[in-house]
Amino acid sequence: MERVDYLIVGAGFAGSVLAERLHSIGKKVLVIEKRDHIGGNSFDYHDEAEVLVHKYGPHYFRTEYEEVKSYLSRFTEWIPHEYIIKASIKERLYSFPINRNTLNQFFGLSLKNEEEAKEFLDSKKEKIADPKNAEEQVLALAGKEIYEAFFKNYTIKQWGIHPTDLDASITARIPIRTNTDERYFGTSFQAMPKEGYHKIFENMLKDIPLKLNTDFNQVKEKIGYKKLIYTGPIDAFFNYRFGKLPYRSLHFIFKTLDKEYFQDYSQVNYPNEHDYTRIVEIKHATHQKCPKTTIVEEYPKDEGEPFYPIPRKQNKELYKQYQKVAEKLKNTYFIGRLAQYKYINMDQTVKSALDLFEKLKDED
């Protein structure tokens, strides 16, 4: 039987960063990945029309962590890009997240400065001191019209659940601005990897033993290891003993078109019209020059690949049961979005992997 210091399950950011770091200090590492590719959900590839596409939804890299930026910069150069997203309502495009331009467009106003915008929002917002769910969160910040046009149906489409039954954190992620900042994120470093995400993973894992198409459950008895780093779903690890953790999934329809661009932005959201939530044309963010384009329509669904943990109280409690038994296991580390049942961005994933490495590096 093979025996390694670390068996690492999953070749997304959590697994790959730890594999690279542990390998760099001489640990014997083996990475197994059940898919036929590395990169986890950040995986990208060139399709038949040579367009670089993101297989599992658009991945917009951004970070405030200097440490994460400098670590990843060992494996890639960057193309600076500030992501711009629009919301399409009755065939008109609005700035999104909501900012002063959106208010002027949507309400037919000419608010000139932050004070005027704030005053206007104050006149619209509902008096809810402590928003308890995703609906109250938006009503408390921007009022009914904004909630109904931009948030209500989008949230229902995205989650299959009414906003009153979802945590306030869902809508709190999206700011309501009084300035005219058109960027989707306020983060100071926003960029795409110059040769795509897949290249980052190739560079990270280049000298590290890796088995693709290998599911942990099928090989766990056959591989000897001292320690386990597990980045798969925590409920699956424990054979769903407390029940299945609910996830929202997505169905992607890719369409290649014989024109250079389909839309003017990398993402257009459709809060109310169509069954898809958004159309992504990642070319705008990758800055790729190519005569054809590929767009992706995203249709949320219940079954399928686990993408978004559903942020509700009962799900957090179910997760806590798993977390409790996980903490008791020796030499086993649960890390990443599936193992921690938490929506985390790529930079947060890299940061927590680097932090775990700091703890592990001095152990035997």
Ligand X SMILES: Cc1cc2nc3c(=O)[nH]c(=O)nc-3n(C[C@H](O)[C@H](O)[C@H](O)COP(=O)(O)OP(=O)(O)OC[C@H]3O[C@@H](n4cnc5c(N)ncnc54)[C@H](O)[C@@H]3O)c2cc1C
Q: What share of the chain is helix, strand, coil (3-state, %, to 5)?
A: 35, 20, 45
Residue whose CB is less far from ligand X, 186 or 291: 186
Pick from 323, 73, 311, 326: nearest CA to 189: 73
Residues 220 and 214: their CA atoms lie apart, in Å, by 10
Radius of gyration for the chain, computed over Cα atoms and rounded to the nearest angstrom: 22
Decide whether 81 or 316 has the Cβ nearer to ligand X. Answer: 81
What tokens appear for 274 in the block? 């169509």
Cβ 214 to ligand X shortest distance, Å: 6
To the nearest whole angstrom, how small is the minimum distance from the Cβ of residue 242 to ligand X? 18
CA 32/CA 10 separation, integer angstroms: 6
* Least Å from the CB of residue 211 to ligand X: 9
Min separation Cβ 106 and ligand X, Å = 25
Q: Please, which residue, 58 or 193, has the CB nearer to ligand X? A: 58
CA distances from 206 to 5, 257, 351, 359 (A): 18, 35, 21, 24
CB nearer to ligand X: pick between 42 and 88: 42
Binding site for ligand X (CB under 6 A): 9-15, 32-35, 40-42, 56-61, 215-217, 231-232, 250, 307, 336-338, 344-347, 349
Nearer to ligand X, 5 or 215 (CB): 215
Residue closer to ligand X, measured from CB, 105 or 203: 203
The kind and range of the H/E element at 195 are none
The DSSP letter of residue 85 is: E
Minimum separation from the CB atom of position 282 to ligand X (A): 10
Cα separation, 23 vs 30, whole angstroms: 9
The torsion defined by the Cα of 318, 137, 267 and 351, in degrees rounded to 10, comes to: -50
Give the residue with the Cβ less far from ligand X, 262 or 307: 307
Residue 193 contacts residue 337 (beta carbons within 8 Å): no
Q: How far apart are CA 56 and CA 148, in angstroms?
A: 28
Shortest CB 345 distance to ligand X, Å: 3
| Cβ atoms of 333 and 228 closer than 8 Å | yes
Instruction: Tell me the closest approach of the beta carbon of residue 235 to ligand X, in angstroms.
Output: 11
